[in-house]
Amino acid sequence: MEKKLVNFRLPVDLINKLDELAKETGKNRTQLIEEAIECLYSSKTESKAEIELLERQNQQLQQALQGFQIALQGKDELLKEREERIKELKETIEILKEKQKDGKSFWKFWK
């Protein structure tokens, strides 16, 4: 790999930390800075991939949620129809009870 000399300034405390790490690991400053940059770059790339994955999952969840909302709307309509049907049946039962009180058989009511 081709290398190029680069000069830059760092705070003294960072240089001290860099030298301490170099002593502990047996690596020189350049190696440590290369590793740090590679680590930052790869974590940025991994973070970008994770964000893209989360965005795709979010889209899928949004679609599923829309499907559930549509299903719930249909359920509400069915419940409303059911309640109306129950009301009609109760009214029919009341009519049949009234006819039965009058002494007429309910089957005559239907004629």
Tokens of 71: 């299903």
Q: Domain for residue 3, yes or no?
A: no
With b meaning 16 or more CB within 10 Å and e meaning fewer, what string describes 39-59?
eeeeeeeeeeeeeeeeeeeee
Number of domains in the chain: 1
pLDDT in tens, 61-107: 999 999 888 888 888 888 889 999 999 999 988 888 887 776 656 55
Q: Provide φ and ψ at 11, rounded to 5°.
A: -60, 150
**One-letter amino acid of 23:** K
2 occurs within a structural domain? no
> Rounded to an integer, what distance in angstroms lies between the CA atom of residue 109 and that of residue 100?
9
33 alpha carbon, distance to own chain's centre: 39
Question: Does the residue 7 lie in any domain?
Answer: no
Is residue 4 a part of any domain in this protein? no
Domain interval for residue 26: 12-109
In a domain, 57, yes or no: yes
pLDDT, one tens digit per residue, over 44-66 is 777 888 888 889 999 999 999 99
For residue 6, is it within any domain?
no
